[in-house]
Amino acid sequence: MKIAIGSDHRGFRYKAELIKYLSKDFDIKDFGTFSENSCDYPDYAEKVANAVVSKKYQRGILICGSGNGVCIAANKVKGIRASIGYSVKAAEFSVRHNAANVICFSEDFPLSMIKKAVKKFLAAKFEGGRHLTRIQKIKKIEEGQ
């Protein structure tokens, strides 16, 4: 599986740790930032979101100070369903029930929890069924119907 990953300056340290952690099992592409110098999270959220929407990457991971900023920015890209991985279960169910394709984290979360949540997020499969009807409604909203 090909994974797009990005962060702002607050998420830079955890992003580096996640790249090391995931690189042995996944093809990871780092979309920046590449330092702890102050930067704007929407720039990196957009890069990761566009990479996922292009279908070149199956999933995306974003990290910022709160997790909220990158999540909001990523969700502005049509076709992205980004979720905050505030727990291992939430990360897994974001895919199983909501077909999430991007997961977002706060660098204030424990790194050990984030690693477990990422693994669940990447292993999870969308269940379809009653959840598909809801995803189709989201697509209609996205298209302004």
pLDDT beyond 70 at 145: no
Burial 69-86 (b: 16+ CB within 10 A, else e): bbbbbbbebeebbbbbbb
Among residues 9, 39, 64, 104, the one annotated as catalytic is 64
CATH number (domain holding residue 119): 3.40.1400.10
Mean pLDDT of 105-131: 96
- Told to judge if 9 belongs to the known catalytic residues of this protein, a careful annotator would answer no
Rounded Cα–Cα distance for residues 118 and 45 (Å): 17
As for how many domains the chain has, the answer is 1
Q: For the chain, what is the mean pLDDT?
A: 96
Question: Which residue bears the tokens 């340290």?
Answer: 13
pLDDT beyond 90 at 138: no
- Told to judge if 97 belongs to the known catalytic residues of this protein, a careful annotator would answer yes
38 by Cβ neighbours in 10 Å (0-12 / 13-18 / 19+) ranks as: exposed
Among residues 39, 71, 97, 104, the one annotated as catalytic is 97
Predicted local confidence at residue 141, as pLDDT: 78
Taking the CB of residue 134, how many other CB atoms lie within 10 A of it? 12
Mean pLDDT of 111-130: 96
35-79 tens-digit pLDDT: 999 999 999 999 999 999 999 999 999 999 999 999 999 999 999
